[in-house]
Amino acid sequence: MEPISAVIAALQNKKVFKKLKTQSKLDKLLSLLPPTLKDGVDFFYTKNDILFFALIHQMYKDEFKHNIQMILTLLGQIGFENITSIKYFVTNKAKIEKFKPKMIKYPQYIRQSYGIFDNLAKNRYVFEKFEQIRVLIKEKI
């Protein structure tokens, strides 16, 4: 049985899955970018040998403007020789934040019972069960 990475690599090399291979290369490019550039990218795509970056804020345009040469060098190293230019723009749609649940810290449980109670059970079976509970409570103290 082949490992899953080998299966994915074989699928990416087929002509039918050309977009999958392109997207995996673009994901690799994004992982190689410095954090100042990576944080500003909303999404990216290629069209007619041009790589388009959609940015989340206007200030990232200056960062991309000063680092285009570095991005082109990274593209060459990854295997995007067909990309001739890079364009970037600020997306006009607000980014929707994913819901991140907050961890709730509950107060520490304070023991309420010390096993001191009257066993008023009339049934022998119920009486024995209450006594077992009393023993368990006293063991936990």
Domains for the chain: give ranges and CATH numbers. 4-90 (3.30.300), 103-141 (no CATH)
Distance separating the N- and C-terminal Cα atoms of the chain: 55
Output 80 or 6, whichever has higher pLDDT. Answer: 6
Query: What's the mean per-residue pLDDT of the chain?
Result: 84
Dig out the tokens for 40 from the structure. Answer: 């500003």
Helix 68-78 vs helix 18-32: crossing angle, to nearest 10:
130
CA distance 33 to 86: 14
Whether the pLDDT of residue 140 is over 80: the answer is: no
Tokens 């990309």, residue? 83
In three-state secondary structure terms, 6 is helix
Contact 53, 75 (CB under 8 A): no
Rounded distance between C-alpha atoms, residue 37 and residue 55, angstroms: 9
Look up tokens 């961890």; give the residue: 103
Higher-pLDDT residue of 43, 80: 43
Edge to edge, the sheet with strand 41-47 lists 41-47, 50-55, 85-90
What phi, psi does 54 have (nearest 5°)? -100, 120
3 state SS of 97: coil
Strand, helix or coil for residue 87: strand
Determine the Cα–Cα distance for residues 83 and 115; give it in Å rounded to an integer. 77
Model-level pTM? Answer: 0.56
Q: How confident is the model at residue 95 (pLDDT cuts 50, 70, 90)?
A: low
Q: How confident is the model at residue 129 (pLDDT cuts 50, 70, 90)?
A: very high
